[in-house]
Amino acid sequence: MFLYAPILALVLFSFNDSRYMANWNGFTLKWYQQLFQNSDIMTALYYTVTVAVLASVISTVIGTISAIGIVKMKKTPKKLILNINYIPILNTEIVTAVALMSLFIFFKLQFGFLTMLLAHITFCIPYVILSVLPKLKQLPENIEDAALDLGATPMYALRKIILPQITPGIVSGFLIAFTMSIDDFVISFFNTGNGVTNLSIVIYGMAKRGIKPEINALSTLMFTVVLVLLILSNRGQSLVGASKNNAKNK
């Protein structure tokens, strides 16, 4: 109730004919129409999705490679690198945001799309590493050696043996990175420039004057998309499980 009642209220009032949530004036779809006519929100949505997709893909690639390298390390350097990886996660976002901002100023980078993207990539990598590591630790210790003894090249063993078995961890890391990027405000706020903004910054700016009903409509659409993807994902896993069971029975 505590988790979903606010979301249901938001969905309900996205169809409210009144601009205010204090009263219900009837059913309407005009806020959805105005949403797509609002250039500020559409621009913010474009940058939000673009940065989130690029940051999650790049951080997933870097994080996966890093996790594979960490697993192969000896005990002492592995422990050191893992502790270093924990710091950005345990550290407060404001410290990370100011640190990245100072770094970009030091290298004289112009604040805008590039600095926001680099900040999001840096922010997401540790989460990807932590998502992939458990799957790598579950693999048999000598699985690569066995593949090499059977004639596989290191790259072939990586592509055909290692990556398929750690795919769930990679997908989880990608989804976490994507969610963290879309949801982030502090790091985005300190590392963006003129003309480049995301939804969290736009909504924060609107909160001072009052949230527009278009935001309710946008939030409803985003929630619906996530819900549909979740249902399709579960449906796909069920079909895969059923096909495996049928194959075993045959």
Residue 210 lies in a domain: yes
Residue 7 lies in a domain: no
pLDDT for position 231: 80
Residue 238 lies in a domain: no
| Alpha-carbon span 133 to 166, nearest angstrom | 9
Residue 9 lies in a domain: no
Task: Tell me which H or E stretch contains 23.
Answer: none
- 8 A C-beta contact, residue 185 and residue 200: yes
| Alpha-carbon span 126 to 103, nearest angstrom | 19
Query: Residue 70 is part of which domain span?
Result: 39-215
Q: Maximum Cα–Cα distance for the chain, whole Å?
A: 73
Rounded mean pLDDT, 109-128? 95
Residue 223 lies in a domain: no
Residue 8 lies in a domain: no
Q: Is residue 239 very low, low, confident or very high in pLDDT (cuts 50, 70, 90)?
A: low
Domains identified in the chain, total number: 1
| CATH number, domain containing residue 130 | 1.10.3720.10
pLDDT for position 157: 87
Residue 74 lies in a domain: yes
Residue 243 lies in a domain: no
Rounded mean pLDDT, 172-179? 90
pTM of the model: 0.84
